[in-house]
Amino acid sequence: MCDTNKNILITEVALRDGSHAIRHQFTVEQVVNVVKALDEAKVPYIEVAHGDGLGGSTLQYGLSLTDEFELIEAAAATAKNSKIAVLSLPGIGLEKDLKQAASLGAKMARIATHVTEADVSPAYIELAKELGMETVGFLMMSHMAPTAKLVEQAKLMESYGADTVYVVDSAGALLPHEVTEKICALRDHLSVNIGFHGHNNLSLAMANTLAAIEVGATRIDGSMRCLGAGAGNTQTEVLVAVLDKLGIHTGIDIYKMMDAAENLVAPILEKPQEITRDSLVLGFAGVYSSFLLHAQRAAKRFNIDSRDILIELGKQHIVGGQEDMIVDVAAEIAKKKNVTIG
């Protein structure tokens, strides 16, 4: 029977997932200031990269203001205790990118695939292990696969050498009982660490995270001030406080986390992270959270409702890596509605 572990390791993802929310405009100064504060707060892992991972700075996914390797290098040089993590989606990030990230001081590689496509990850997981990096298998859009399929894919990542396998609720679409079922199943069938990454599009990130921890997840993601795609992730400083009340150890200084969130991350936000009508639709329709700004831009271009775009993307099961389909879907909706494009 799954039960709660009293020691949880948190990965702060605002400097990667949060890149989506600010159109990938992080500066070196911002990254250095945030990493320094997180390091002093004793956060175990800090993820730094383009929102779509290594190699994500493209016209399709969004161009970064600052080369991500500059950000990774600055983060690694700043952190004295925290380990810098990077995300790589095979096919977007290349093996050479992973090697460069490791050479600059990244200590953890999170290899991300669609929940049914773990078989594209072995070369990357094996390379990360060869580079001496702690390695995570990151099964995105986990709501799109039945639990048995999720277990099958997680076991593949474990067999490739992953130290941890994550259930990733990329759309913020999972309900707590579904998280419980999926995490417990992984805990029963895998011998490696189990992690959970949530999004708050249905206002369930905290509830889902606690459900995951209750049944055995020990690696948890959060983002300060919910700085992440869509409505953001589980809010880290709140999570640390809640876990402290539950008697669950994180090793993180809650006051310093509060200060970092208030003084450093809040000013970076272009607007407060809240559940808007569009981010709500992301969770309702089960759409990749990073599609939010892309869909809003397409809606403006074609003079249609962004919700119609998101609902249609959900119906077509469009997933990360298919951002080019957003414009196609918008154009088709405008054509059917006979909308005049301004």
Q: Which residue type does 149 have? A: K
Beta bridge partners of 199: 233
Beta bridge partners of 137: 111, 165
Judged by phi (left if over 0) then psi (alpha if -120 to 50, else beta), residue 230 lies in left
User: 189 labelled as ligand-binding?
Assistant: no
The three-class DSSP label of residue 204 is coil
Looking at residue 81, the DSSP 8-state letter turns out to be S
User: 17 labelled as ligand-binding?
Assistant: yes
The CA-atom distances, in angstroms, between 242 and each of 152, 212, 234 are: 32, 14, 11
Q: Closest Cα partner for 188 from 225, 229, 147, 226?
A: 147
Distance CA 138, CA 214 (A): 20
Q: How far is CA 15 from the centre of its chain?
A: 10
Task: Answer for the pair 86, 95: CB distance below 8 angstroms, yes or no.
Answer: no
Q: Which residues contact 174 (CB under 8 A, 6 or more apart)?
A: 142, 143, 182, 198, 204, 208
- Which of 20, 24, 143, 294 is an active site residue? 20
The per-residue b/e assignment along 131-145, b for 16 or more CB within 10 angstroms, e otherwise, is bebbbbbbbbbbbbb
Beta bridge partners of 85: 47, 108
Map tokens 């049914």 to a residue. Answer: 116
User: 197 labelled as ligand-binding?
Assistant: yes
Map tokens 């992080």 to a residue. Answer: 26
User: 288 labelled as ligand-binding?
Assistant: yes
Q: Which residue type does 230 have? A: G
Annotation says 20 is catalytic: yes
Beta bridge partners of 110: 87, 136
Distance CA 212, CA 209 (A): 5
Q: Which residues are annotated as a binding site for substrate?
A: 16-17, 170, 197, 288
Q: Which residues are annotated as a binding site for Mn(2+)?
A: 17, 197, 199
> Hey, which residues are catalytic here?
20
